[in-house]
Homo-oligomer: A and B are copies of this chain.
Amino acid sequence: MEHVAPPTGYPVVGMIGGGQLARMTQQAAIALGIGFDVLAANRDDSAARVVPETMLGNPDDPTAALAFSRNCDVITFDHEQVAVKVLEALTEAGANLRPGPAALQYAQDKIEMRKKLTAAGIPCPSWLAWEEGMSAEAAGEQIGWPLIVKTSRGGYDGRGVWVANDASELTQILTNPLAPGARWLLEQKVDFAAELSAQVARSASGQAVAYPVVRTVQTNGICTEVVCPAPGLSAEMAVTAQDLALQIAGQLDVVGMLAVEMFLTADGVLVNELAMRPHNSGHWSIDGAISSQFDNHLRGVLDLPLGSPQRLAPWVVMVNVLGGDQPDMYRAYRHVMARDPELRVHMYGKEVRPGRKIGHVTVLGEDLEDLLARAHHAADYLTGVIDE
């Protein structure tokens, strides 16, 4: 269909990437009444299924991105792994990138991120950028065994991350091929009490709001459970985590949503990863906050005043639904709705593949144990791990 402009006065946000983050952003864009366009590779991509103003094209192709940007007042992203040549071409053409390339580099390259945060005095795990000719033993001595090995660029959801228990394992890992432009980052394997995520929204003109700090659980590198607020986290530590996230957003000039993944340790928090977009750790906010992360991402990149990140219940629990062996989920879906009328089910319009993120469920209320049990039961039933 031809491109249709929004009503008089409303801007168009273009999102590069057609995954579930763009799909859920569409729900927020509908309420805001703005124009919302997506650049997606395939017509049956999660977001392309629900956004009429989808342009089909390779999001890594500068020509496609340039053509896409012509209808848009602001360009944003549903993933960080945007090709540098796309960013350069858009910048050169004067497109309004939010977040901008200067911010985005710190989400794209973990070594640049570590350098920047360390220089700013933000607490991080011990780290080392591996250089040709270094000694594995000396690196291990500096950081301590076991240590974490990451590719500086291109990894996500547990890909591009290894654990090395000793020098010979490290040497072996370093024989893996690196993506163009990527290097090896070695990090301390942190002994953490919990993993946290502190999300903030920041607008182009610098207004910022902090969401409650959540506890995340990763299974095989994939986020599977989020509890808001993080159970047992002291008010003081929560404020510290929020302050760090606000500080990072300001120092890196992030526009839109920023998720700061952190380790909670006996000595405080250490920053693990950054994401400059809506993030899995904020899906709870669709049903559990006044303004969701998708709403505030759009407001931030449009430089609109931000919405309240306040939560709507004492506890909000989000559990991811991963694909199992059953391609047809509809019977299971009916079952989980019948069992729990308060369950909020979000499916992403994706075919089932084992281990693939295909949806999530959210419940909110006062009894955390009960909410956790209900959310996990629903997710496990949808995945096919349990059948009763």
Closest to A310 in B: B342
Beyond A31-B347, A307-B337, whether A44 also contacts B330 by CB under 8 A is: no
Residues of B within 8 A of A44 (CB): 4
Which stretch of A6-14, A91-99, A189-197 is in the interface? A6-14
A349 within 8 Å of B (CB atoms) = yes
Which stretch of A45-53, A62-70, A77-85 is in the interface? A45-53
Residues of B within 8 A of A346 (CB): 31, 33
Residues of B within 8 A of A54 (CB): 1, 52
A291 within 8 Å of B (CB atoms) = yes
Q: When the two chains form their complex, are residues B334 and A304 in contact, meaning their CB atoms are under 8 A apart?
A: yes
A interface list, Cβ under 8 A from B? 1-2, 4, 6-11, 23-24, 26-27, 29-33, 43-44, 48-52, 54, 209, 286-287, 290-291, 299, 304-308, 310, 312-313, 327-331, 333-334, 337-338, 341-352, 359
Q: When the two chains form their complex, are residues A345 and B31 in contact, meaning their CB atoms are under 8 A apart?
A: yes
Residues of B within 8 A of A349 (CB): 6-7, 30, 33
10 closest A-B pairs by beta carbon, nearest first, are A33-B347, A9-B328, A9-B330, A305-B338, A305-B337, A308-B341, A52-B52, A308-B342, A8-B327, A31-B346
Instruction: Quote the shortest CB–CB distance from A107 to chain B (angstroms).
Output: 26
- The 8 Å CB contact of A10, one of B305, B330, B338, B343, is B330
Say whether chain A's binding surface is mostly helix, strand, loop, or mixed: loop
Closest to A49 in B: B4
Give the distance in Å from the alpha carbon of A349 to the alpha carbon of B29 in the complex. Answer: 10
Q: When the two chains form their complex, are residues A341 and B51 in contact, meaning their CB atoms are under 8 A apart?
A: no
Q: When the two chains form their complex, are residues A30 and B27 in contact, meaning their CB atoms are under 8 A apart?
A: yes
Give the distance in Å from the alpha carbon of A385 to the alpha carbon of B6 in the complex. Answer: 24
Give the distance in Å from the alpha carbon of A32 to the alpha carbon of B359 in the complex. Answer: 10
Beyond A31-B347, A290-B342, A352-B8, whether A312 also contacts B312 by CB under 8 A is: yes
Give the distance in Å from the alpha carbon of A291 to the alpha carbon of B29 in the complex. Answer: 20
A8-B328, A32-B345, A305-B334 are known; give 12 further A-B pairs, CB within 8 A.
A2-B43, A7-B351, A9-B327, A9-B329, A23-B30, A26-B50, A27-B30, A52-B54, A290-B342, A290-B344, A299-B337, A308-B342
Residues of B within 8 A of A290 (CB): 287, 341-342, 344
